[in-house]
């Protein structure tokens, strides 16, 4: 029985006040307005849902996919209260002889189905029998289809493999129309007879918009006679996608298409591309549906996202700001104030306060600065505006809370050069001058006091790009132009802690101090998180980072550090970090110009709305864009996770809350994720970090309330993280610290040894991958065993102590001749034994207890179990023997019982063997021994339960039960729980699913 699933969303439907999703063989129902999860029901058996067809003015919903179809009923109480929602399946799935492409209701008890061989079947749902079956004269294989109910029958749109759409009725032998023009197979067909539009999509990346021209306008569009007397012409052939176009939908105002390029394209009926919107983390978008106000999409990242249709047409209010000044001037620098007004510096040394609501200039101040190099900075509260030049002249203005004006409160000279100036909070200004001298000044009324002097360490461009201050704990944190972050404490000129080159060569763009951590952003496309010790700032630690889709990450614009802004080349971007959603895109020319952005609550009509306003200087003009988020912001119905296959998974629970399960996963999308699943089956990524290449394997070790995660994979990379779960208010918060990031063959620069191109040698050795790792604790250190694709078994020593982390390679063993696929450690006879498996089906056992020299170490026993590569292994240790279970590419499961005469390792031999290839019909990717039970899984999407025992004659293993999983390309499984009644396992591959196996 499936308890939870997160995989490709192959069907979505907006129905009444609900969002219905088809994920695997089950359907989930959500409330459309609140996005609240209501209920999940298993509909089909071993088939994915590809179509959801509600019956108009009824509670019945037709579900189909693969060769099956069924009907579910969604009942609410009389008041429409979703708390009283009842969802049930009316009957077991009907099984057809062919794949189904489309379905529709004929009446309340009759449905029509379109098969992959262009046949229309009419089914009576009461008797569950076929009433009639009509075969088309054109028996082409269909890649897509559409059934359109008419008053006097059915209309069939058949998308063939021959790049054409055939329109016919089941009762006519001759097709009515042939729509030709695509240069690939037809993936989807949509039709809106009222709008007289047909839309077809194809793997040639095109969307074709067909126009219906009736010859007899007086005929009704829902009659067969109407469709016999029309001309269909291709009005527009449009290209907006860079990959195959999977689905389309027609609304009253526009046409929507989605594709494998993770892009939603909004088209006008005239064929004009209105907007392109990237979503779903660059994974394919498999399903789409629309109503008059919203669009819902389901993608390959497992997410379901609700988008407002207004994002295509009502995308912000654009205007140019004209300053009514007496003397014409060019604006140079702009910034928002606390009341969302503008302060503007121009080229004639004037500071202008512009009231955005009344669109008028309220006051102009003349700035008497000798230098043309001027700096403008606004405090965190945005009420104080500082203007300085290179010679040290400083003016500070304050915005009046009651009147629309600014007043000069400070006019002084610092008597030293100023290269950079930043506000650190609301009262402190941080200046960086000649020779890296940092001066922190605080303003009290009209005077300036020196809070502290500090010295910036030597670097190429010795000035600051960002600063923040914790006044209570007397901590100053700054970032310099070389990407370094320095932590200072008051009365100490030199930094107590320096993080070297954590950002790119342009330096951090913002620093935010919050509680016991600080967050930095930079123009290297990352957000970086650090821990801060209030008692000892020298103990500050780098924790983790988050990589974004755009390179220039500027700053957060909300207090929760969730909404961030920046630039993707010439495009201004606002991004939701938690939900991985892009909120705003504006082509403004890039971030090198003067610009500012503000997020606020404003009144729109009779309602208060969340608004974001962007201003920037372009072509000597001030441009403004105002966005109403409710009209453009997408919302996650189901959160996304991995966009490609999951290669490895481990789970654990925190003692703080046993209702929440945590999953550490690594995948082909190069990400390592810590995800949580709560009691309502809601999944959320808590931590996401990236490897250089795919993540092949991971292991977790419990360490005094924290979790050590060792992950490895492509590019011969090993990363070690420390994960800590804590309670903040009523919620659990996960934090991670990056301990080790190690490349076995070194970085590119190290591998080339700084050689010039004339003297550089070619490395003929292909890039090594780490296929599997295991961790063994010995005394005060951890031994990490890595089985690699170059047939080498590598051993590393890892010692973790707070404030002191050491990691070093200590040995390489080359016993195997081919790639090592699996490594696992067991303790037997008070000895640590390592087991390795290769692509030749060889299993080797190594004694790794207190080894002095690793390089000449050899296994004490080897045997061949499988005919080819071993993908999975598990062991069961008793007092005098070891049972090894292996599954491999030969589709077989092998049980091998090793005997140790006189409890001596040197005399090891195989006592009994057992194998079968009857449990699975494809590569076995997971085996687990749980008490006297054997659990296995495979690429064939089956999870098998068997019972084993040892007898004098040998090993006996009897089949018990088997279930199907909806996860494609299963890579392995993890045992979650084992009770007297059932075993709960999590299988993973293209997504993950938690299933329960009754004993």
Euclidean distance between CA atoms 549 and 577, whole angstroms: 10
User: HEC states along 167-236?
Assistant: EECCCCCCCCEEEECCCCCEEEEEEECCCCEEEEEECCCEEEEEEEEECCCCCCCCCHHHHHCEEEEEEE
Could you tell me the pLDDT band of residue 537, with boundaries at 50, 70 and 90? Answer: confident
Query: Which residues make beta-bridge pairs with 165?
Result: 159, 179
**pLDDT of the residue at 996:** 95
Instruction: Compute CA distances 117 → 183, 470, 694, 849, 887, whole Å.
Output: 21, 70, 40, 64, 38
Quick one: tokens of 147?
């059934």
More confident residue, 787 or 369: 787
d(CA 132, CA 150): 17
pLDDT above 60 for 947: yes
Q: How far is CA 747 from CA 546, 608, 692, 713, 943, in A?
A: 21, 53, 11, 15, 41
DSSP structure class, residue 1: -
| 698: Cα within 13 Å, side-chain hemisphere | 29
User: Are the CB atoms for 249 and 255 separated by under 8 Å?
Assistant: yes
Confidence band (pLDDT; 50, 70, 90) for 81?
low
Phi, psi of 250 (to 5 degrees): -115, 130
User: Per-residue pLDDT averaged across 374-398, rounded?
Assistant: 92
Residues in CB range of 819: below 8 A, 6 or more apart = 771, 788, 789, 790, 791, 838, 839, 869
- Helical residues (DSSP H) of 38-156, grouped into ranges: none
Beta bridge partners of 927: 936
Q: How does pLDDT run across 842-884, given as a tens digit for each residue?
A: 999 999 998 878 878 899 999 999 999 999 999 999 888 999 9
Q: What is the 3-state secondary structure (H, E, C) of 297-349?
A: EEECCCCEEEEECHHHHCCCEEEEECCCCCCCCCEEEEEECCCCCEEEEECCC
Q: What angle (nearest 5°) sits at the alpha carbon of residue 926, between those of residues 645 and 822?
A: 90
Distance CA 972, CA 698 (A): 12
Backbone angles phi, psi at 378, to 5 degrees: -115, 140
Summarize pLDDT for 99-138 with one digit per residue, the tens: 999 999 999 999 999 999 999 999 999 999 999 999 988 8
Q: Which residues contact 383 (CB under 8 A, 6 or more apart)?
A: 337, 338, 398, 399, 401, 426
What tens digit of pLDDT does each residue of 616-654 get?
999 989 999 999 999 999 999 999 999 999 999 999 999
User: What are the respective helix, strand and coil percentages of the chain, to the nearest 5?
Assistant: 5, 60, 35
The pLDDT assigned to 754 comes to 55
Largest CA distance in the chain: 105
Residue 720 pLDDT more than 90? yes
What's the chain's average pLDDT? 92
Place of tokens 């005929």: 219
Q: Which helix (H) or strand (E) holds 631?
A: helix 629-632
**Interatomic CA distance for residues 224 and 219, integer angstroms:** 10
Q: Are 4 and 965 contacting, i.e. CB atoms less than 8 angstroms apart?
A: no
Classified as helix, coil or strand, 283 is coil
933-938 and 924-930 beta bridge pairing? antiparallel
Q: Computed from CA positions of residues 904, 910, 916, 921, in that sequence, does the dihedral angle turn out positive or negative?
A: positive
C-alpha 136, offset from chain centre: 44
pLDDT-derived band at 209 (thresholds 50, 70, 90) equals very high
Kindly report the pTM of this predicted structure: 0.92
Contact 967, 974 (CB under 8 A): no
Q: Residue 757: its pLDDT value, please?
A: 54
The answer to whether residue 230 scores a pLDDT higher than 70 is yes
Q: Are 352 and 325 in contact (CB under 8 A)?
A: yes
Give dist(CA 984, CA 996) in Å, integer: 4
233-289 residue pLDDT tens: 999 999 999 999 999 999 999 999 999 999 999 999 999 999 999 999 999 999 999
The number of residues in the chain equals 999
Tokens of 152: 């006097």
Averaged over 589-610, what is the pLDDT?
A: 91
Other C-beta atoms closer than 10 Å to the C-beta of 378 total 19
Average pLDDT over residues 474-498: 94
What are 305's strand-pairing partners? Answer: 297, 636
Measured distance CA(130)–CA(144) in Å, rounded = 22
With a pLDDT cut of 90, the percent of the chain lying above it is 76
Is the pLDDT at 971 greater than 60, yes or no? Answer: yes
d(CA 8, CA 30): 17
What is the rounded CA–CA span in Å between residue 697 and residue 575?
Answer: 31
Q: Which two tokens stand for residue 430?
A: 């941080």
Reference 285, options 238, 249, 311; nearest CA is 249
Rounded-to-integer distance, Cα 443 and Cα 458, Å: 29
pLDDT score recorded for residue 400: 82
pLDDT at 961: 94
Distance CA 104, CA 920 (A): 36
What CA–CA distance (Å, rounded) separates 197 from 954?
70
Could you tell me the pLDDT band of residue 953, with boundaries at 50, 70 and 90? confident
Cα separation, 48 vs 116, in Å, equals 16
Structure confidence at residue 78 (pLDDT): 45
Task: Identify the pLDDT of residue 21.
Answer: 98
The dihedral sign for the CA sequence 483, 485, 490, 496: negative
Helix count and strand count (H, E) for the chain: 4, 85
**C-alpha–C-alpha distance, residues 851 and 299, integer Å:** 50
In three-state form (DSSP H/G/I as H, E/B as E, the rest C), the secondary structure along 506-574 is CCEEEEEEECCEEEEEECCCEEEEEECCCCCHHHCEEEEEEECCCCEEEEECCCCCCEEEEEECCEEEE
What pLDDT is recorded for position 354?
87
Give SS3 for 434: helix
- Closest to 857 (Cα-Cα) out of 868, 844, 848: 848
CA atoms within 13 A on the CB side of 213: 6
Which tokens belong to 460? Answer: 């190429």
Q: Please state, as a whole number, how many other Cβ atoms lie within 10 Å of the Cβ of residue 817.
A: 10
The helix (H) or strand (E) run that includes residue 750 is: helix 748-752
Higher pLDDT: 362 or 900? It is 900
pLDDT at 360 over 80: no
Higher local confidence (pLDDT), 450 or 368: 450
310 vs 856, residue with greater confidence: 310
| Other CB atoms within 10 Å distance of the CB of residue 960 | 15
Band (pLDDT 50/70/90 cuts) for residue 349 is: confident
Q: Could you tell me the domains of the chain?
A: 419-547 (2.130.10.10), 864-999 (2.130.10.10)
**How would you label 118-133 residue by residue, b for 16+ Cβ within 10 Å and e otherwise?**
bbbbbbebeeeeeeee
pLDDT at 192: 96
């Amino acid at each position: 029985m499936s308890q939870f699933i997160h995989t490709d969303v192959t069907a979505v439907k907006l129905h009444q006040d609900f969002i219905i999703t088809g994920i695997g063989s089950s359907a989930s129902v959500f409330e459309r307005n609140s996005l609240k999860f209501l209920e999940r029901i298993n509909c089909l058996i071993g088939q994915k849902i590809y179509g959801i067809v509600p019956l108009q003015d009824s509670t019945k919903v037709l579900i189909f996919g693969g060769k099956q179809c069924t009907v579910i009923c969604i009942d609410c109480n009389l008041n429409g209260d979703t708390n009283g929602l009842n969802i049930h399946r009316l009957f077991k799935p009907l099984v057809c002889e062919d794949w189904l492409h489309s379905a529709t209701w004929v009446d309340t008890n009759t449905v029509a189905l379109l098969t992959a061989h262009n046949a229309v079947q009419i089914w009576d749902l009461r008797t569950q029998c076929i009433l009639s079956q009509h075969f088309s004269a054109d028996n082409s294989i269909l890649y897509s289809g559409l059934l359109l109910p008419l008053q006097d029958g059915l209309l069939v749109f058949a998308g063939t493999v021959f790049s054409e759409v055939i329109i016919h009725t089941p009762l006519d032998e001759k097709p009515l129309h042939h729509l030709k023009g695509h240069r690939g197979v037809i993936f989807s067909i949509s039709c809106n007879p009222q709008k007289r539009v047909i839309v077809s999509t194809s793997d040639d990346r095109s969307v074709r918009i067909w126009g219906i021209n009736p010859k007899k306008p007086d005929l009704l569009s829902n009659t067969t006679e109407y469709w016999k007397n029309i001309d269909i012409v291709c009005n527009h052939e449009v290209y907006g996608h860079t990959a195959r176009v999977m689905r389309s939908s027609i609304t009253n105002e526009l046409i929507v298409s989605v594709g494998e390029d993770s892009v939603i394209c909004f088209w006008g009926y005239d064929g004009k591309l209105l907007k392109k919107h990237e979503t779903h983390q660059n994974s394919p978008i498999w399903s789409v549906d629309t109503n008059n106000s919203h669009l819902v999409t389901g993608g390959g990242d497992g997410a379901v996202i609700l988008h407002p249709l207004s994002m295509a047409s009502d995308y912000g209010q654009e205007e140019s700001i004209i300053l009514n000044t007496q003397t014409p001037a060019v604006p140079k620098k702009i910034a928002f104030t606390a009341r969302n007004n503008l302060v503007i510096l121009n080229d004639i040394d004037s500071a202008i306060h512009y009231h955005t609501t009344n669109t008028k200039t309220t006051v102009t101040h003349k700035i008497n600065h000798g230098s043309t190099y001027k700096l403008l900075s606004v405090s965190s509260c945005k009420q104080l505006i500082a203007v300085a030049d290179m010679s040290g002249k400083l003016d500070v203005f304050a915005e009046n809370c009651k009147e629309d004006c600014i007043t000069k409160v400070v006019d002084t000279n610092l008597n030293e050069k100023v290269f950079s100036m930043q506000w650190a909070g609301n009262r402190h200004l941080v200046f960086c001058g000649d020779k890296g001298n940092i001066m922190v000044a605080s303003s009290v009324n009209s005077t300036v006091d020196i809070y502290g002097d500090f010295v910036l360490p030597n670097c190429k461009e010795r000035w600051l790009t960002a600063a923040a201050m914790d006044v209570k704990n007397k901590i100053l944190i700054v970032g310099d132009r070389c990407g370094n972050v320095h932590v200072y404490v008051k009365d100490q000129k030199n930094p107590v802690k320096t993080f070297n080159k954590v950002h790119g060569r342009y330096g951090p763009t913002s620093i935010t101090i919050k509680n016991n951590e600080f967050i930095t952003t930079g123009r290297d496309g990352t957000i970086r998180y650090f821990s801060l010790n209030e008692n000892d700032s020298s103990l500050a630690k780098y924790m983790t980072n988050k990589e974004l889709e755009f390179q220039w990450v500027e700053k957060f614009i909300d207090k929760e550090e969730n909404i961030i802004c920046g630039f993707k080349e010439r495009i201004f971007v606002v991004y939701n970090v938690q939900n991985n959603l892009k909120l705003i895109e504006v082509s403004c020319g890039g971030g090198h110009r003067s610009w500012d952005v503000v997020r606020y609550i404003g009144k729109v009509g009779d309602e208060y709305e969340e608004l974001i306003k962007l201003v920037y200087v372009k072509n000597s003009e001030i441009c403004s864009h105002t966005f109403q988020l409710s009209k453009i912001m997408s919302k996650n119905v189901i959160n996304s996770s991995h966009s490609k296959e999951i290669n490895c998974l481990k789970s654990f629970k925190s003692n703080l809350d046993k209702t929440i399960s945590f999953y550490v996963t690594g995948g082909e999308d190069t990400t390592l994720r810590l995800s949580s699943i709560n009691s309502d089956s809601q999944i959320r990524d808590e931590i996401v970090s990236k490897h250089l290449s795919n993540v092949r394997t991971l292991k977790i070790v419990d360490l005094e309330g924290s979790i050590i995660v060792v992950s490895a994979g492509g590019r011969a990379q090993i990363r070690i993280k420390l994960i800590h779960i804590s309670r903040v208010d009523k919620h659990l918060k996960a934090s991670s610290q990056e301990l080790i990031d190690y490349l076995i063959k070194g970085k590119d620069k190290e591998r080339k040894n700084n050689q010039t191109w004339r003297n550089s040698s070619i490395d003929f050795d292909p890039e090594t991958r780490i296929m599997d790792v295991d961790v063994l604790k010995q005394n005060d250190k951890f031994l990490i065993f890595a089985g690699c694709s170059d047939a080498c078994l590598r051993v590393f020593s890892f010692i973790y102590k707070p404030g002191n982390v050491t990691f070093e390679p200590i040995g390489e063993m080359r016993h195997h001749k081919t790639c090592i696929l699996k490594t696992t450690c067991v303790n037997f006879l008070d000895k640590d034994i390592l087991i390795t498996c290769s692509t030749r089906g060889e299993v080797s056992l190594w004694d790794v207890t207190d080894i002095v020299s690793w390089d000449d170490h050899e296994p004490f026993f080897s045997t061949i179990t499988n005919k080819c590569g071993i993908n999975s292994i598990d062991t069961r240790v008793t007092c005098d023997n070891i049972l090894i279970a292996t599954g491999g590419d030969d589709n077989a499961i092998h049980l091998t019982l090793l005997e140790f005469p006189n409890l001596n390792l040197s005399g090891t031999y195989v006592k009994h063997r057992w194998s079968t290839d009857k449990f699975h019909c494809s590569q076995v990717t997971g085996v687990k021994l749980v008490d006297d039970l054997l659990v296995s899984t495979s690429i064939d999407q089956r999870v098998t339960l068997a019972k084993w025992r040892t007898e004098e004659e040998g090993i006996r293993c009897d089949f018990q039960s088997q279930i199907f999983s909806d996860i494609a390309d299963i890579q392995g499984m993890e045992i979650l729980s084992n009770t007297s009644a059932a075993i709960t396992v999590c299988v993973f591959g293209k997504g993950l699913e938690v299933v329960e196996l009754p004993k």
